[in-house]
Amino acid sequence: MATKDTVRPVTEDGKASQFVHSLAARAWRRAMRRPVGRLLHAARRRAALRRVAALRDALESVLVVCQGNICRSPYAAGALRRALHGEFAREIAVRSAGFLDAGRPAPRAAVTAAAGRGVDLSAHRSQRIDPMGVQRADLVIVMDERQERAVRLLFGKPRESILILADLLPAFGEARVIPDPVDQPLETFQRVYGQIDECLATLRAALAPPRG
C-alpha cells in the first residue's frame, strides 16, 4: 500500500500524456496571443494618442531615443522634424540620443534608406542620452518597453511624458517594438523606416493644432 510519501514512477504513458498536455498548452497560448495582443494594442494606442493630445499645446521639445542612436532614432527625429515643419506657430526642437557611446556614424544602409525617404543622415554622429536632455524634453519617444523603463528609472521621467513609438502602429505586430535594423541589409532598414513613418503620420495628426 502506497503511503503519501511514496514517489510514483512516471510511466511511458504518463510521459506521453505530459507531452500532449504541454503541446496543447503551447498551442492554446499561441492561438490566444494574437487576439489578446490586438486588444492590448488597441488600448495602448488610444492611451498613447490621449497622452500626445494632452501635451500638444505645451510641446516645445521632443527627444527620440533608441539603443545606439545610429539607425532608428536619428531617422525618426529627422522625419518628425520634417513632418512638424510649419504645423505650429512656435518652433518645436526635435533631437535624438541613445544609450551607447557618442560619435558613431549611421551605417551606410541607414543613410541610403533614409535618403530615399528625404532624410539626410550622412553627417549624423550618435549622441549619448543624458539627464539634462531628458528633463528638457516635453516628450521622449522610445522604440520599446525596455527603453521606456530605462528612461523612467534612470532619469525619473514620468510615464505620461514617454511614448513607445510602436504603440502608434496601425495594427498589432509580433511585439511592442520598432525592431533594430543594425547590421541588417538595406531591405530591413527600408521596412523599419516604413514602420516609423506610419507611426509618425499618426503622431503628426495627433499633434496638429485644430483647424479653425
Active-site residue set: 66, 72, 180
φ, ψ dihedrals at 98, nearest 5°: -145, 180
Which residues, 6+ apart, have CB-to-CB distance to 88 below 8 Å?
59, 209
- Written as nine digits, the cell of 32 is 490566444
Instruction: Judge contact between 78 and 106, C-beta under 8 A.
Output: no
- Per DSSP, which regions of 12-112 are E strands? 61-66, 93-98
Residue whose C-alpha is closest to residue 147's, from 168, 170, 131, 163: 163
